[in-house]
Structure 1
């Protein structure tokens, strides 16, 4: 692979993995992994910016790939795969998308002309919200988001300059005040997944290139060193209660996976 990985679960035990292939085209592979070649999705992507993928309901995928230098994204709906459609995000950093239920997804980006604040846009019942909601902060290197229940979102961004990970959440119809400092230092976008209500698993690549893990279950743990040598940000998916799959691109440009609960 020449690009970073991204992953989502579209059904119980079913993981979809996306990246950018050696010919710079968007590619996809599904678990259980086969010996078949990666499926080419017919659109170019940017090497340093991972796609953002989400499933709003079983057997559905929405994928957003950064396209060239224009800071625009193309969206792709599955399955079966549709064509590519322009989606103007105006961001030079990785975006994040999550879903709290059927026909609802929430998209997050780091702004380009508003002091690197986090922008939020949502899709519900076939309609996108008007414009971008400004969530404040000052970020670089991308964001990650997950939902553990209807009406709940947790979003994480990498601070611009200090490279720490910051956390904000949406619950009971409103956003938390300010941003929570999660510690951790990274040069890459983090990743996060939820396997059930009240549970979050957060990952990032450290400056030593090892992968670090922190989880929430009634309170936050410290950071756990998972080892590995990651040459990219991480990707994670939770295809069922107590299950996690963690991906990163190794220094030899192949994708590595580690699983929990399988």
Structure 2
């Protein structure tokens, strides 16, 4: 039943909610209780009902837009970070649903979804888009669209429905006594707004940049910088819907962009100077749980890295001349069996193809690094410390040098340089400050320049540049993703 009556406005008005979005959430209680945000887009108003459904047994909440507008297709966000442990399809008792394991026995369930953007094994952060509001239900047909939400303590030793717990959002307990309450969402990405589209940047030569971004509807946008001028944004329509950050790589007269499909399969779209953009290609039925990273050690080979369902970083080489894989997916690093990643990888190869470096975020938030050399092969994964928010980015200026760019827990930009990809002690980290809404992406078109791109709190594209002989330039705004459009 659609909820239209507003009994209580418990959260601040939208303007104040946005102003408070940067406030750090209170810590969880000693008992392990979670600090939940409303599972909807920042500033939107939703009314919850715990009493009108005869299917409810204990503390469940059905949410609808408080305006009474059509809910179908509205984004559903993670109320807290964790890992997807359970999911079901449209014919299950909950219809399309996902359940996020937050640790210590606690989980949250999101049911009757129209679309799912996260699946078993995926790591999600608070505010990440995991689905859309729908009306799928295996037991009943024709139910009205709404989100069925449950806050659970599966570790309590109780069975269903007793383990469904009373929920609070932004510290405000739901009013179970009256059965209804209206909230304005403050799930505004102050912790990690990775539901924003991710970015990738490459260079086809000195003076040129290509930036790629994924839109909220799963399409790829492209913008080029050449001869001192930015082009408008173009949308690369195709036959695939993708998520997360794209990963682009250049070859002579060619660009290949790899991405994670919403079906958690690897996708690739290619541009050539003689043809333009092709359609998306599906790269096999292997299940991936992160966006990919790519490097190129030769004109004909692309190295692809992803996180798999076991949260291991795995590798495969693609021969672009023959358009075939040259090996199966395989674990990398001598200690791969004991190394677990919680982000997608970053990767960079030196220009003569004799060395690669791969990076990822560890379970405790620190930076993991791994090196491959032509003479030795893969070394062991090493923990470099730190506290990352999201995935790292890597680029090279010349020789074996590596520049790492990290989004710190306070969302500032961290830069770390190694002269050879192995020595991480000679040069200290630099904190450039700022506030990044997504993980950075970096590219060097020669040894004397680095360009770093991210998005700010308004979701606009921002750029920070280093030119040899000068200090780092301040962040420059490049406007909204997709505007101006071709």
TM over 0.5: yes
Q: Distance in 2 between matches of 1:245 and 1:233?
A: 14
Q: Is the 8 A contact 2:198 2:245 kept in 1?
A: yes
Partner of 2:212: 18
User: Structure 1 residues 173 and 37, CA, compared in 2 at 3 Å: closer, same or farther?
Assistant: same
Q: Is the 8 A contact 1:93 1:140 kept in 2?
A: no
User: Structure 1 residues 237 and 99, CA, compared in 2 at 3 Å: closer, same or farther?
Assistant: same
Please tell me whether Structure 1 or Structure 2 has the larger radius of gyration of its CA atoms.
Answer: 2
Q: Alignment partner for residue 172 of structure 1, among 374, 397, 402?
A: 374
Q: Secondary structure at the match of 2:209?
A: strand
Partner of 2:437: 231
TM superposition shift of 1:119: 0.5
User: Structure 1 residues 76 and 225, CA, compared in 2 at 3 Å: closer, same or farther?
Assistant: same
Partner of 1:155: 358
1:81-120 equivalences in 2 (<5 Å): 81-88=277-284, 89-112=286-309, 115-120=310-315
Q: Does 1:74 align with 2:271?
A: no
Q: Is the 8 A contact 1:193 1:200 kept in 2?
A: yes
Q: Does 1:131 align with 2:328?
A: yes
Q: Distance in 2 between matches of 1:215 and 1:134?
A: 26
Q: Alignment partner for residue 252 of structure 1, among 458, 468, 474?
A: 458
TM superposition shift of 1:82: 1.2
Q: Secondary structure at the match of 2:354?
A: coil
Q: Residue by residue, what CA displacement relative to the aligned partner does 1:56-84 show, whole Å, maximum 9, x if unpaired?
A: x233111012222x101321111211111
User: Structure 1 residues 176 and 23, CA, compared in 2 at 3 Å: closer, same or farther?
Assistant: closer
Q: Is the 8 A contact 2:196 2:437 kept in 1?
A: no
Q: Distance in 1 between matches of 2:287 and 2:218?
A: 21
Q: TM-score, normalised by structure 1?
A: 0.90
Q: Is the 8 A contact 2:260 2:290 kept in 1?
A: no
TM superposition shift of 1:184: 1.9
Q: Distance in 2 between matches of 1:13 and 1:169?
A: 30
Higher relative contact order (CA 8 A, sep 6+): 1
Q: Alignment partner for residue 384 of structure 2, among 182, 186, 191?
A: 182
Q: Secondary structure at the match of 2:305?
A: strand
User: Structure 1 residues 96 and 35, CA, compared in 2 at 3 Å: closer, same or farther?
Assistant: closer
Q: Distance in 1 between matches of 2:271 and 2:205?
A: 13
Q: Is the 8 A contact 1:168 1:175 kept in 2?
A: no
Q: Distance in 2 between matches of 1:191 and 1:152?
A: 17
TM superposition shift of 1:45: 4.4
Q: Distance in 1 between matches of 2:281 and 2:199?
A: 21
Q: Distance in 2 between matches of 1:111 and 1:74?
A: 15
Q: Distance in 1 between matches of 2:370 and 2:381?
A: 5
- Bigger drift between 192-201 and 127-136 goes to 127-136
TM superposition shift of 1:216: 0.9
Q: Distance in 1 between matches of 2:454 and 2:266?
A: 22
Partner of 2:41: none
Structure 1 residue runs without a partner (length 5+):
none
TM superposition shift of 1:98: 0.6
TM superposition shift of 1:225: 0.3
1:52-63 equivalences in 2 (<5 Å): 52-55=247-250, 57-63=251-257
- Bigger drift between 189-198 and 34-43 goes to 34-43
Q: Residue by residue, what CA displacement relative to the aligned partner does 1:109-150 show, whole Å, maximum 9, x if unpaired?
A: 1111xx311111012342312311211121111110001131
Q: Secondary structure at the match of 1:207?
A: coil
CA RMSD of aligned residues (A): 2.0
Q: Distance in 2 between matches of 1:130 and 1:198?
A: 25
Q: Is the 8 A contact 1:11 1:58 kept in 2?
A: no
TM superposition shift of 1:35: 5.9
